[in-house]
Structure formats: structure tokens, C-alpha cells
Amino acid sequence: MRDFVRQCARVMSRSPLALLMTRRLGPLAVAQACGALNDNLVKNAIIVLALFKLGIGGAGLSAAAGALFIAPYVILSASAGIVADRFAKARVIAAYKAAEIVLMASAAIAFHLGSVTALLAVLLGLGIQAALFGPVKYGVLPELLDEHELVAGNGLIEAATFLSIVTGTVAGGGLILLDRGVAVVGLLGVMLSVVGFACALRIPRYPPADPSLRLSPNLPGETWRVLRLAAADAPIRRCILALSWFWTMGATLLTELPVLARDTLHAEGTVLTLLLAVFAIGVGVGSIGCARLLAGEVSPRLVPFAALGISVFCWDFASAGGASFDAATVATVLGSLKGWRMMIDLFLLAACGGIFSVPLYAIIQDRSAASERSRMIAANNIMNALFMVAGAAAAAGLAAAGLDAPRVLHVAAVANLAVAAWSLRLLVHHRRDLPA
């Protein structure tokens, strides 16, 4: 029995999940998960409250909510990167999480008043807070973890983020429709923000990366300088472009899933919840499993294969969903081979997404100079936001041209093949950069 316990301990010590039990990653992961859950809890609760309880808004409200949340990433990420490199990152994280408590308390009041205008103002504040938090949460990882732990750390953060996004989206829409839904959502948001702040206080503190940095009120100028700084390093530039495409594919899929469920599968809301859960679990499994596959090596060697998998499984998922298949209920999906085909495709597509993206984050962190690391992450966040906006516009254009959700996903799968071929350059250049 004692030998068995020791063997289990050795397995756990090698598992990426073991990092969550340490102070070096656990508090950051929980703080990040609470923030992502809160953002999506409030965003979806606002939309559902306005549409189904207050009877106002529509597609325009959903678009406005998305724009309010994504715009700060373009405008403020560069300054956020400078702040993260200028000050001790643990203190910066604690300050941002304290601001989240204020924002969630404001959201609770706005929910109680039933004011959509006030709620949209809170959502803008959450977008600003999330944009400021982005560069520091990834920039701090190399300070907290050893190089061979970077892939695992990024995988765990990404898994927690996607699971929180889906959980927050589902919970926000479901809880707000309860009899006392506004009170439940408001109280839950405040509680999560307090937990996130408490965890932020436990993140180990290290000295600032570059105390000589100065902030400028010229936000466009700072954005341009940060983008030029990242573009000057070819490997980082290539990783940023690949990650921006990953987020474009992810945003396209998450946008088309509700349309596919409603218009193609003629399904009720529980089917969409099932698909979202399968997607989130797939990303989590792929993100965490990537560390095992790479054995701690910071390398893009799995990226081209994962990109190819994204195209294959995206195409087959869209084909299965669009082939005269009515999946009105979860029981219908689970009781048919075509339903299982869709879920397996979606799971593998999401897992490939995790395997694709996690090594790229680790490469950016590992290659960046310590004094510039958060600004490199900021440049990535800016490009991600711009690509996602362009991708949303392209998807809207395809829908306007008469393409249904399965066909939009077919187009995305074919376009992703070009990215899979291009990603081979990441592997070739990485091998050239290795020391002889």
C-alpha cells in the first residue's frame, strides 16, 4: 500500500495539474478563472435580461455588448503592457482584481435597478479591466514557473479560461431568468470577484522588470510602438499571427454554434449548452495534454499537426450538423450516431485548438526579454482583437451572401488549411534558431 501511495505521488508530481496545487500557479489560475467567469456571466446575463425580461434590444444589443468588451483590447493593451513591465506584476494583478470587486458591486446595483444602460457601462468597465489584466497574467508566468513548466502553466491557464467562459455564458443566461435571478447573478459576481482578489494577494512577488518605463497619454502612439517592438522579432511575430488566427477560428465557431443549433439542428437551448460544454472540455484536455505531449519542451513541433486537425474536424463537424439532422433535444443527440459524431468532432477540434495555441504562448514568453515580456503579450492581444473583428465581419458577410452556419464553418476549415501549411514555417525557423 505504501509503495502504491508513493507511485501515485510521483505520477502527480509529473502531472501538469500538480502545478495548480502550488502557490506559484494556483492563485493566478483561480484569479483568472474568476475573472473570465464574471465577464461572461455579466455579459450574457445583460443580453438575456434585456431580451427576455425587459423586452428591449435584439441582435444590435448583442453586437454592442461584444464591441464594448473587445474595444479596450485594441485601445489599452499597449499601455497595460507598459504598466505590467514597469511595476511588480503581483501588485498590478491585485490592483486589477480589487477594481473588479467595485465593478461587480456596480453590476449588482445595475441589475437590481434593471438599467441596461448602467449594465452596459459596467460591461465596458469589465472590458477595460480584462484588457489591462491580459498582458500581466501571461507576462508573470515566466517569473513564477521554470522554463520546462511554461507549457503546462499556459495550458492550465487556457483550460481554466475556456471552461470559465462557457460556464459564465451558460450560468448568466440561466440564472438571470430565475425569479430572483438579478439578485443571484449580482451576488455571485461579487463573491467571485472577492475570491479572485484574495487569490491575487497570494501570488508571489518579484521586482519590476523595467522600472524606467514611462506611460504616455498618446494611446495610438503607444499601440503602434508596441506592435513595432513585437514585429521586429520574427519568431514572436509569427507566433502572434498564428495565435490571432486561432482566436479568429474560435470566435467564428462560438458565433456559429448558436445559429447552427437553432436554424440547422432545430434544437432547444440544452443542446447548445451541451455543445459548448464539449467544446470547453476539449480545449481543456488539449491544453493540459499538450504539456505531456511536449514533455515540457517549449517547441512548435505539434502546431502544424494541430492546425491540420482543426480543419479536418471542423469540416466533419459542419458536415454532420448540416446533413438533414434534427437534434431537438439532448436525448436526440446522445441517442444517434450522427449526434455522437458531432460531439466527437467538436471535442477533437477543440483539443487540437488547445494543442495549437499553448506552445505559441510559451514561445512568446520564453523568447521575450524579461523587460519587454508583457508588452509582447500586449501586442498579441491587440492583434488577436483586430483579427477577431475582421473574422466576425467576414462571417457576417458570408451569412449575408446566403451561407448557412455549416457552410460558413466549411469555409473556415478550408481557410485554416492555408494556416496549417504556413505554420510549418514556425517549425522550420524554430529548428534554425536552436543552438548548434
In whole angstroms, give the CA distance from residue 134 to residue 54.
Answer: 33
Give yes or no for a contact between 80 and 86, defined as CB atoms under 8 angstroms apart.
no
Tens digit of each residue's pLDDT (9 = 90 or more) over 53-68: 665 555 556 667 777 7
pLDDT exceeds cutoff 70 at 11: no
Tens digit of each residue's pLDDT (9 = 90 or more) over 275-301: 888 998 999 999 999 988 998 888 888
Q: What pLDDT was estimated at residue 179?
A: 85
Average pLDDT over residues 258-274: 81
pLDDT exceeds cutoff 50 at 206: yes
In whole angstroms, give the CA distance from residue 281 to residue 263.
Answer: 24
In whole angstroms, give the CA distance from residue 121 to residue 141.
Answer: 31
In whole angstroms, give the CA distance from residue 162 to residue 197.
Answer: 20
In whole angstroms, give the CA distance from residue 283 to residue 352.
Answer: 8
In whole angstroms, give the CA distance from residue 28 to residue 170.
Answer: 23
Q: Please give the distance of CA 4 from its chain centroid, rounded to a whole number.
A: 38
What is the DSSP annotation of 18-44? GGGGSTTTHHHHHHHHHHHHHHHHHHH
Would the CATH topology of 15-208 be identical to that of 232-436?
yes
C-alpha torsion 237→26→287→104, nearest 10: -80
In whole angstroms, give the CA distance from residue 195 to residue 126.
Answer: 16
Tens digit of each residue's pLDDT (9 = 90 or more) over 373-427: 999 999 999 999 999 888 888 888 888 888 888 899 999 999 999 989 888 877 7
Give yes or no for a contact between 261 and 275, defined as CB atoms under 8 angstroms apart.
yes
In this structure, whether the domain defined by 232-436 belongs to CATH 1.10.1740.10 is answered with no
Q: How confident is the model at residue 1 (pLDDT cuts 50, 70, 90)?
A: very low
Of the ranges 28-32, 168-172, 430-434, which is most confident? 28-32
Greater pLDDT, 225 or 120: 225
Average pLDDT over residues 171-189: 89
Q: Where are the domains of the chain?
A: 15-208, 232-436
Q: What pLDDT was estimated at residue 254?
A: 81
Greatest distance between any 2 Cα atoms in the chain: 67
Q: What pLDDT was estimated at residue 184?
A: 93
10 Å Cβ neighbour count for 344?
Answer: 16
As a whole-number percent, the residues of the chain with pLDDT over 90 amount to 52
CATH of domain 15-208: 1.20.1250.20
Average pLDDT over residues 197-215: 93
Q: What pLDDT was estimated at residue 425?
A: 78
What is the DSSP annotation of 194-257? HHHHHHHTTSPP---S-TT----S-HHHHHHHHHHHHHTSHHHHHHHHHHHHHHHHHHHHHHHH
What one-letter code names the amino acid at 174? G
Mean pLDDT of the chain: 86
Tens digit of each residue's pLDDT (9 = 90 or more) over 89-140: 999 999 999 999 999 999 999 988 888 888 888 888 988 999 999 999 999 9
